[in-house]
Amino acid sequence: MSRILLEDTFDFKIDRTRITESKDPITGLVTSRIPGTLSLCDVINGNQRRYGKRVWEKNLEEGSVLTQMFKRHSSFGQLEHPKDGKVDLSSPISHLTTEAKLTEREIDGKKLWVVEGVIELLNDGPGTSSARLEALIKKGYDPLVSSRGYGTLVKDQAGVDEVQDDYVCEGWDIVSAPSFGDQAKLNPIRKAAANESLVGRIP
């Protein structure tokens, strides 16, 4: 039976000299683009779950639910996971996830496949969740990102819940409770061109 999976978190250590701001030529809306690591493959997380590389390959392939959401700019995120696991247009949206890809990286001396991506703050005015997040970042807060989606689990002999290939990721939320330490670091880039894709530039 498919269930909502709200994940443990990744610690984003922000270099505040590298935040990119872009302005939509039509709407004039300014967004802050922040690249970083969103998820790790084949690592047991604090929820005793493991997402295999194939799970993310399916989520990031052309035509998947997640990549279609990227194209529609509808992979919404908010501050803290919603209690019912659902985010829609009436939710207090603070950011969007706009790009993601699988890449191999060395972490703590081990080569791992990770999901690298870009979140964009909405910058939609005072009193909003986006304004709160932006203000916190400026004050030194390092955001933690946590995936949100639904799918099935199968427990292995060691008691680890293996996330199955039917898992559908809908986006990532910013949450307060860390579990993975500094394995995933945010690397904002202030000087990139306004319309330049950042995924290919993530180290």
Q: Dihedral through CA 86, CA 156, CA 115, CA 105, nearest 10?
A: 160
Residue 170 has pLDDT above 50, yes or no: yes
Computed over every residue of the chain, the mean pLDDT equals 80
Tokens representing residue 39 in the block: 């998820």
pLDDT of residue 11: 53
**Closest by CA position to 28, among listed 137, 134, 125:** 125
Provide the domain limits for residue 13: 3-22+33-193
Is 93 among the domain residues?
yes
**Closest by CA position to 73, among listed 51, 93, 98:** 98
Is 149 among the domain residues?
yes
pLDDT of residue 194: 42
Is 54 among the domain residues?
yes
Per-residue burial over 66-105, b = 16 or more CB atoms within 10 Å of its CB, e = otherwise: bbebbeeebbbbbbebeeeeebeeeeebbbbbbbbeeeeb
The residue with greater pLDDT, 5 or 81, is 81
Is 162 among the domain residues?
yes
Tokens representing residue 57 in the block: 């390959």
| C-alpha to C-alpha distance for 124 and 48, rounded to whole angstroms | 37
Average pLDDT over residues 74-84: 92
Is 199 among the domain residues?
no
Residue 195 has pLDDT above 50, yes or no: no
Q: Which residue has the tokens 């047991």?
A: 44
**In this structure, are residues 42 and 112 in contact, taking their beta carbons and an 8 Å threshold?**
yes
| C-alpha to C-alpha distance for 142 and 52, rounded to whole angstroms | 27
| C-alpha to C-alpha distance for 151 and 149, rounded to whole angstroms | 7
| C-alpha to C-alpha distance for 72 and 88, rounded to whole angstroms | 13
pLDDT of residue 189: 41
- pTM as predicted: 0.80
| C-alpha to C-alpha distance for 45 and 51, rounded to whole angstroms | 9
What is the total count of domains within the chain?
1
Residue 51 has pLDDT above 80, yes or no: yes
Q: Confidence class of residue 197 from pLDDT cuts 50, 70 and 90?
A: very low
Is 202 among the domain residues?
no
Is 142 among the domain residues?
yes
Contacts of 50 (CB under 8 A, 6+ apart): 42, 43, 44, 160, 161, 162, 163
Residue 200 has pLDDT above 50, yes or no: no
Is 203 among the domain residues?
no
Residue 78 has pLDDT above 60, yes or no: yes
Residue 17 has pLDDT above 80, yes or no: no
pLDDT of residue 65: 97
pLDDT tens-digit readout, 123-134: 788 899 999 988
Contacts of 25 (CB under 8 A, 6+ apart): none
Q: pLDDT above 70 covers what percent of the chain?
A: 74
pLDDT of residue 8: 55
pLDDT of residue 111: 93
